[in-house]
């Protein structure tokens, strides 16, 4: 039995959608979630900068004594996962590999689309993983810089969001994609809009359930699972405004957040030194 918590981090609050599935899949485990709201969004930033942020946060979580880290951010996973796995002593998992595998399994016509941030698209990580699973799949990535701010707005289901979804969906519909990866942890919140625009014949793939299952299996395989029969606790940290994080975060987690602690960027920077 290992009672240490699992660490989860994201550029902001989108990763709470992944944490939700982890809480459901592993109800006995404790979790620590860190959202880097002060530096949100990661998507438009250079990959080197995202790598530095990811090193800082992962190092900070390791310093808190977590037993495994989930990079619940597609941009950070794409930019930094291999480097983090080399540098840190605890197991580290990302959200991209489960999505790529699920998409290749789901597609019927071998045409897969991707909606993601600019950084995730530019990394080319999805293309590499999909080709590794099936080199014959045609892949169509589309960057969506407008969507994250709209999803985090006061009205994520406004007409402007619908129009933005129609705009990014158009090239994937023209390409005949029957499977589309939602390559950002924010996007499941507007899944009804996405499904309406793409139609029921298009499979929308999001990794939260697959990621949670992989985390659970990894903990069991490495004998890190918490065997105590109790409901696990969860702790929230942010580099931004705790009150805003608590208010907005409930929308993503679909559970009450309780207390949110603020972490200074200087403390993160020291963790990567």
Find the helix packing angle between 74-87 and 125-133, rounded to 10°.
80
Alpha carbon 249 to chain centroid, angstroms: 14
Query: Catalytic site residue 144?
Result: no
d(CA 41, CA 149): 8
- For helices 16-25 and 208-221, give the axis angle rounded to 10 degrees: 50
Tokens representing residue 259 in the block? 């207390």
Instruction: Rounding to the nearest 10 degrees, give the CA dihedral for residues 157, 183, 89, 224.
Output: 70
22 is catalytic: no
Q: Which of 22, 144, 177, 184 is catalytic?
A: 184
Distance of CA 163 to the CA centre of its chain: 24
Indicate which residue of 22, 73, 144, 177 is catalytic. 73
For the chain, strand residue ranges (E) read 6-10, 31-35, 69-71, 92-93, 111-116, 138-143, 179-183, 203-205, 234-238, 260-262
Catalytic positions: 73, 184
């Amino acid at each position: 039995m290992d009672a240490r918590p699992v660490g989860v981090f994201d550029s902001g609050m989108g990763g709470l959608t992944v944490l939700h599935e982890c809480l459901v899949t592993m109800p006995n485990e404790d979790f620590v979630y860190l959202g880097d709201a002060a530096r949100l969004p990661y998507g438009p930033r250079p990959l080197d900068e995202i790598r530095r942020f990811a090193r800082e946060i992962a190092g900070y979580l390791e310093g808190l004594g977590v037993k495994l880290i989930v990079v619940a951010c597609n941009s950070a996973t794409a930019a930094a996962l291999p480097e983090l796995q080399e540098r840190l002593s605890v197991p580290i998992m990302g959200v991209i590999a489960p999505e790529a595998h699920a998409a290749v399994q789901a597609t019927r016509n071998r045409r897969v689309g991707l909606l993601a941030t600019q950084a995730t698209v530019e990394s080319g990580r999805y293309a590499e993983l999909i080709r590794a699973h099936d080199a014959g799949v045609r892949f169509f990535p589309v960057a969506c810089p407008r969507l994250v701010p709209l999803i985090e707005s006061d009205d994520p289901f406004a007409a402007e969001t619908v129009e933005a979804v129609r705009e990014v969906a158009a090239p994937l519909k023209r390409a005949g994609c029957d499977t589309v990866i939602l390559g950002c942890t924010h996007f499941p919140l507007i899944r009804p809009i996405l499904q309406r625009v793409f139609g029921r014949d298009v499979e929308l793939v999001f990794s939260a359930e697959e990621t949670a299952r992989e985390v659970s299996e990894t903990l069991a395989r490495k004998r890190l699972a918490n065997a105590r029969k109790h409901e696990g606790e969860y702790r929230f940290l942010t580099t931004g405004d705790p009150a805003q994080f608590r208010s907005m975060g409930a929308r993503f987690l679909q559970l009450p957040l309780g207390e949110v602690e603020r972490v200074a960027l200087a403390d993160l920077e020291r963790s990567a030194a």
